[in-house]
A and B are shown apart, each in its own frame.
Chain A
């Protein structure tokens, strides 16, 4: 069973629109959370990560994510998207204890129209 759920399979929006991608996980206890991006024809790269502390995490390229423990969620946001944000976005979770398992969500394809 998938440990990480991404709600949106494909999101289409216009430039300057705001983006929010949902991610929920099923682990209890301490978790480490990640968002990765894969641009067309390229490999995965890390956008941001959360281990502890401030639940609002800032990443690269203007992205941020908020960890809400009570909702088991780690949603990704960007206030104003650009055409270059067209990519596939993956949420990933590791239990954060002595278990090294690292599971990814199914991904959300984001298409930004100019």
Chain B
């Protein structure tokens, strides 16, 4: 089945450690996105990528980094510089010229203690 796979679903980390969340899609979509969802703040865009080897900062990129070495993969690293990393992280993808429908992964819960 085509879709987006995020892993891990739940992750606990100690403060000061970097952590990488995986996102893989087999939809052959050009665009991929990372959002975080916090109560009362909706989905806030962290980074997005329109093409391999290129990505753009979203609205809250500080403390995060990404890479897009392959079309199907867009991992997100939450660095120790992120002041409030505990959140629900959603990966998404879409094809610009194919109805613009966005597909979401199942999400990853990150808890930093």
- Which of A44-52, A56-64, A68-76 touches B? A44-52
Q: What 1/0 mask marks residues of chain A from 79 to 114 whose CB sits below 8 Å from any chain B CB?
A: 000000000001010100000111111110000000
A100 and B48 contacting across the interface, CB-CB below 8 Å: yes
Known: A43-B106, A106-B40. A101 touches B58 (CB 8 A): yes
With the chains together, A78 CA to B59 CA distance in Å?
31
- Answer yes or no: B68 CB below 8 A from chain A CBs: no
Which residues of chain A have C-beta atoms less than 8 A from B101's C-beta? Answer: 46, 49
- Answer yes or no: A1 CB below 8 A from chain B CBs: yes
Interface size on B, residues (CB 8 A): 25
- Answer yes or no: A7 CB below 8 A from chain B CBs: no
Per DSSP, are chain A's interface residues mostly helix, strand or loop, or mixed? loop
Contacts between the two chains (Cβ within 8 Å), count: 56
With the chains together, A32 CA to B98 CA distance in Å?
13
- Answer yes or no: B41 CB below 8 A from chain A CBs: yes
Among candidates B41, B58, B100, residue contacting A94 with C-beta atoms closer than 8 Å = B100
- Answer yes or no: B31 CB below 8 A from chain A CBs: yes
Interface on B for A, CB 8 Å cutoff? 30-31, 33, 35, 40-45, 48, 50, 56, 58-59, 92, 94, 96, 99-102, 104, 106-107
Add 6 more A-B contacts to A43-B104, A92-B102 (CB < 8 A). Answer: A32-B100, A46-B101, A100-B30, A102-B31, A103-B58, A106-B42
Interface on A for B, CB 8 Å cutoff? 1-3, 6, 9, 32, 34, 43-44, 46, 49, 51, 90, 92, 94, 100-107
